[in-house]
């Protein structure tokens, strides 16, 4: 049985303790009639996720994240077969014990693109970026209305206003230097607004959530994963992950991505959403992608991270 978890702090301690998790995982596998071979936990991710043989993946959610479990299952069912890149098929989802929820889904072939990327040649990388742009465009082209009761926020403008109200505080809590944090409010006030249309958003569209398969000289995207934080909102919001974690501040790759996607995004809008994103951590981003010499303001940083070639 999985231990009861009532706070994020309790979950933070439990999630790293496989000895406490494993008995419950094995029990749940038996109840679901899964193969007797032991589940193998994936090393990455904030939630406990296990490979069950070669065909299944089991993702677990504590009571504090029960809504994420329902959201992931609902979104994956909605997406089934509708994107140019495969998404997992939901085989079962529901409640376990002590408030825990689970989603049992198909296991897609391929390797984590973030891990595989350095060993892929330039032409292969270009091919994958093109495919990623097409995949995100297809996601955004879907009508999100059937998911409106399951995927929020109900009012995008209200969500943005709430994020903006706490933007400076959140970044300071993460250790952002005052030379940057003191400029947030002025930049957000001047940044252009995004698009008026609403789309289904992945919200963490990044290499780590893409799978790659195939020959080294002809790689292909074989999966798009992790929809538990999906939202309905401005499509430009998804370009935060694109610029930071897919094209990685490479203007040539951003040009390829936006060409495949079918439109560009104003770098200042993407930068604003970087500050407003629910998982925003600007000090980390600045360590991952140090700004070029002379880029000491948000407008310059926006061009460095989200500009095209």
Tell me the pLDDT tens digit for each residue of 17-35.
888 899 999 999 999 999 8
| pLDDT the model gives residue 292 | 82
Q: Which of 137, 115, 105, 122 is nearest to 205 (CA)?
A: 137
Summarize pLDDT for 199-212 with one digit per residue, the tens. Answer: 999 999 999 999 99
Q: What percent of the chain is predicted at pLDDT more than 90? A: 85
Tell how strand 111-112 and strand 210-213 pair up.
antiparallel
| pLDDT the model gives residue 214 | 87
| pLDDT the model gives residue 154 | 93
| pLDDT the model gives residue 168 | 98
Q: What is the value of pTM for the model shown?
A: 0.94
CB 58 within 8 A of CB 39: yes
If you average pLDDT over residues 158-173, what whole number do you get? Answer: 97
| pLDDT the model gives residue 3 | 84
| pLDDT the model gives residue 266 | 97
* pLDDT exceeds 80 at position 216: no
- Choose between 105 and 309: higher pLDDT: 105
- Which residues lie below 8 Å from residue 183, measured CB to CB, with a gap of 6+? 297, 298
| pLDDT the model gives residue 12 | 84
* pLDDT exceeds 80 at position 238: yes
CB 245 within 8 A of CB 207: yes
Rounded distance, CA 201 to CA 209, Å?
14
pLDDT band of residue 88 (cuts 50, 70, 90) is very high
Task: Give SS3 for 165.
Answer: helix
Q: Determine the length of the chain.
A: 309
Rounded to 10 deg, the angle between the 267-276 and 298-306 helix axes is 100
* pLDDT exceeds 80 at position 71: yes
Query: Between the CA atoms of 249, 152, 195 and 188, what dihedral angle is there, to the nearest 10 degrees?
Result: -60
- Choose between 292 and 297: higher pLDDT: 297
If you average pLDDT over residues 237-241, what whole number do you get? Answer: 98
Phi/psi at 259 (5° precision)? -65, -45
* pLDDT exceeds 90 at position 41: yes
- Judged by phi (left if over 0) then psi (alpha if -120 to 50, else beta), residue 170 lies in alpha
Rounded distance, CA 44 to CA 49, Å?
9
Q: Which of 115, 35, 60, 85 is nearest to 228 (CA)?
A: 60
* Element counts in the chain: helices (H) and strands (E): 14, 10
- Judged by phi (left if over 0) then psi (alpha if -120 to 50, else beta), residue 214 lies in left
């Amino acid at each position: 049985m999985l231990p009861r978890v009532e706070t994020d702090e309790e979950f933070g301690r439990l999630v790293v303790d496989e000895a406490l998790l494993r008995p419950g995982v094995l029990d749940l596998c038996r109840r679901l009639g899964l193969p007797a071979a032991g589940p193998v936990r994936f090393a990455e991710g904030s939630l406990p996720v296990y490979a069950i043989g070669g065909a299944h993946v089991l993702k677990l959610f504590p009571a504090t994240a029960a809504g994420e479990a329902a959201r992931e299952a609902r979104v994956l069912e909605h997406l089934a077969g509708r994107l140019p890149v495969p998404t997992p098929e939901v085989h079962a989802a529901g409640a376990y014990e002590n408030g825990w929820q689970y989603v049992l889904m198909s296991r897609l072939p391929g390797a984590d693109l973030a891990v595989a990327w350095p060993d892929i040649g330039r032409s292969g990388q270009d091919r994958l970026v093109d495919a990623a742009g097409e995949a995100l465009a297809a996601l955004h082209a879907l009508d999100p209305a059937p998911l409106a009761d399951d995927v929020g926020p109900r009012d995008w403008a209200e969500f943005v206003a709430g994020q903006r109200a706490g933007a400076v505080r959140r970044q300071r809590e993460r250790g952002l230097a005052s030379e940057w944090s003191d400029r947030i409010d002025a930049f957000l006030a001047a940044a252009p607004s995004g698009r008026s249309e609403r789309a289904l958003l992945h919200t963490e569209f990044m290499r780590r959530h893409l799978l790659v398969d195939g020959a080294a000289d002809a790689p292909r995207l074989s999966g798009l994963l992790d929809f538990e934080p999906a939202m309905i909102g401005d499509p430009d919001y998804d370009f935060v992950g694109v610029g930071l974690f897919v094209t990685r501040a490479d203007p040539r790759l951003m040009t390829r991505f936006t060409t495949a996607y079918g439109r560009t995004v104003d770098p200042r809008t993407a930068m604003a959403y970087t500050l407003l994103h629910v998982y925003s951590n600007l000090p980390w981003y600045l360590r991952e992608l140090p700004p070029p010499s002379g880029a000491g303001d948000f407008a310059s940083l926006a061009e460095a991270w989200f500009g095209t070639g």
